[in-house]
Amino acid sequence: MNEEHFGRLTPRMNSLRDQLLDAEPQVDVERAMITTEVYRDNADQPLALKRAIMLKRVLEEMTIFIEPETLIAGNQASTNRGAPIFPEYAMSWVIDELDKFDKRDGDRFTITEENKEKLRSIAPFWEHNTLLDRGLAAFPPHSKLFYDLGIIKSEGNITSGDAHCAVNYAGVLSQGLKGYAMRAKRKLDELDLTDYRNIHKSYFYRAILMVVDAMRTFAGRYAALARQQAATASPDRARELEQMAAALDRVPYEPARTLREAVQSVWLVHLVLQIESNGHSLSYGRMDQYLDPFYEADLKAGRITEDEAAELMSNLWLKTYTINKIRSWSHTQFSAGSPLYQNVTVGGQKLVDGDPVDATNPMSWLILKTVAQCHLTQPNLTVRYHANLPDDFMNECIEVVRCGFGMPAFNDDEVIIPSFISKGVKREDAYNYSAIGCVETAVPGKWGYRCTGMSFLNFPKALLIAMNDGVDPASGTKLVEGIGHFRDFTSFEQVMACWDKVIREMARQCVIIDATCDMVLEQDTADILCSALTDDCIERGLNMKEGGSVYDFISDLQVGIANLADSLAAMKKVVFEDRAVTPAELWDALEANFEGSTNERIRQLLQQAPKYGNDDDYVDSLIRQAYDIYIDEMKKYHNTRYGRGPIGGVYYAGTSSISANVPQGAGTLATPDGRKAGEALAEGCSPSHGADLYGPTAVFKSVSKLPTEDITGGVLLNQKMTPQVLAKPENRRKLAFATRTFFDRLHGYHVQYNVVSRDTLIDAQKHPERHRDLIVRVAGYSAFFTVLSRATQNDIIERTEQTL
């Protein structure tokens, strides 16, 4: 944990951390039971009111507790690390997998027999009555083929609620929820209900008032419990509990006045957003910007010391880690390690009198220190990089990287801000962007649902279908009108032509699937608190799915970038330039999965072709050309909120594949880069395993040739290094310089570093009991290595270890 640099957690925070690491993830049924009763008893209520009633009942009736070590109150489930079931989103997979949760290859959960029976008892009510049921039924038949065959994957969109956003925490702290309720009440009173559209808005405003009142009640329950515990506690603990109760009497309903109140307020809001829906990537935004005024004021007034503030922030990260989510096994393989992607952003720039200046402050430093001390998978820490980021802060970031838990990730202001402005985002908002979830970015408090993470599109599988005249070679299903079969091609130009034809149709199908998901989400779910705290839903009287946010841009996710690059280069070089293999021979080798000596010889020739990740224009130019075709097609389309209020409503690209490269690789036949059937695809925009031969600088140069200005959904780059490399101060300086060069000269979008040795990973796979604290960067997030499936573990082990 690099304790010699950052120091240790206080004894009680360390004790709480140990308890959380030892806690067995359990399936929690309280929310499911309450929600079922509310939906059954309120089936006639308008959607917004039904959702508000549900949240109100859950907050009134769920089990609450205050850990003996904690300084802030609030729990998501009846136990820490418990994962609630959200039946309104999906129940069929829950029932199908009840007896398998504790037998999974990774991401295991326990559940009691009593709780299994409770879930079985409510299952009949939800049959054909969930978001997932309606989503699957709503897909147009031809589009559903792409979903069923695993070419376009969007399960998370019809099994989850609002996500990939950061609400207006700064507004909550300055106004309190009271301020939002007053705005909603004023708008409600002004409505002319003779206009039917205003009747619909009235439900939303009434729901906001109900939810704010429920939040006040929820905080009051914890205040009462704190006072009850104080009555029998030691004098020191009693003072803490009374202080906690006093804060809970006030926040989040009233504005916060101190850092303690601010942290408690943010935590309760963040927590209830998770209880309201099972969306993930609900992020904290630019926390250093909105907490620092409280921190510095408290220090100046003597209300808190630096050590006390550090303990408070550590407590927040430990509480953040308590939140958990269970997914279906098919969805779990796309999100290995039970990630919640709760991102906190520090650094970057702010505008002062219209000019950009460095925004790092004392809270930026405190967040770096305390996240390092906690050494957990949550929150997901991101640093906004810019050319004038102070050297001492950059060096501190590298010290956190050295801790070996995959954080922080770096996002580049110099690319992201201009990209936002070019798409219509106001300059002052663009400079206030934050990371959301993994590597995606948005303006906190103003951006609509899912700034990224809609459908996963398997690029290598799309290539095989293009080469097979539009037919899926795995199933024999005709999906797209092609231009002929690869066997009959006589030039590489035909390969690019078939890619152009097929990928444009697949991009169109992605939009159809996305629109279907968003349509049923709008019809079936309305997350009131999340919408109320996103500008300008209250002003418009519309929730986020209806077009209430100021901005609404989204992206799909493209998987297997490097495999596509290497496949195109191999075909161009080996088949059409060197003529060492005929098109028919290559296709036969792919169908045979390269089995047999002749086919193995072909595979070796393919592997000798130029590879992406080595600063070779031969291959890098091909992936740029292929990617530009997809991006050009996606620019034609709009999301379901387009023209309904928000700025944007359009698509851009994104490479944050999470762990989708493993399951999508498992369902993809052999590819022309020499990859065998079933092997994992390359993750994000990182090179294929072992293909990058010339160090991180060459990788940076290849990645920089991608159309990053159009991949606003995130250009995910993972780099792996050994702890021994960063043990030397000169290498840490080299890493800081290399990172700066990647951003300043090459205009990179994002990079993050896995600092772990291959030997350690192999030993952890064999002896997981020895490596409880081993954290790895999976994709745009970190996870404990020992909870991952073996396939995902193997994928991480095989990544290239870079040197400096």
- Residues that are catalytic: 438, 440
Return the closest-CA partner of residue 237 out of 17, 432, 412, 70: 70
Amino acid (1-letter code) at residue 121: S
Torsion on CA atoms 661, 664, 667, 671, rounded to nearest 10: -60
Return the closest-CA partner of residue 262 out of 292, 227, 305, 307: 292
Query: Is the sign of the CA dihedral 43, 45, 47, 52 positive or negative?
Result: negative
Phi-psi region of 470 (alpha: psi -120 to 50; beta: other; left: phi over 0): left
Q: Which two tokens stand for residue 233?
A: 């506690």
**Pairing mode, strands 409-412 and 750-755:** antiparallel
DSSP per position, 757-792:
-HHHHHHHHH-GGG-TT-EEE-SSSEEEGGGS-HHH
> Nearest-5° angle of CA 720, CA 725, CA 729?
130
| Other beta carbons less than 10 A from residue 766's beta carbon | 9
What element of type H or E holds 704? helix 695-704
CA distance 781 to 656: 10
Q: Which residues of 403-436 are buried (b: 16+ CB within 10 A; e: fewer)?
A: bbbbbbbbbbbbbbbebbeebebeeebbbbbbbb
- Could you tell me the CA-to-CA distances from 600 to 459, 590, 650, 678 in Å, in that order? 24, 10, 45, 17
CA distance 113 to 673: 48
Find the DSSP H helices in 286-352: 287-301, 306-322, 329-332
DSSP per position, 591-644:
HTTT-SHHHHHHHHHHHTS--TTS--HHHHHHHHHHHHHHHHHHTT-B-TTTTS
What element of type H or E holds 346? strand 343-347
**Pairing mode, strands 801-802 and 718-721:** parallel
CA distance 324 to 739: 33
What element of type H or E holds 751? strand 750-755
For the chain, the 3-state helix, strand and coil shares in percent, each to the nearest 5, are: 55, 10, 35
CA distance 371 to 375: 6
| Other beta carbons less than 10 A from residue 185's beta carbon | 15
544 forms beta bridges with none
Q: Which two tokens stand for residue 285?
A: 């935004």
Find the DSSP H helices in 67-195: 92-97, 113-126, 131-138, 141-148, 169-190
What element of type H or E holds 345? strand 343-347
Return the closest-CA partner of residue 460 out of 692, 630, 665, 637: 665
- Could you tell me the CA-to-CA distances from 69 to 66, 226, 426, 636 in Å, in that order? 8, 12, 44, 54
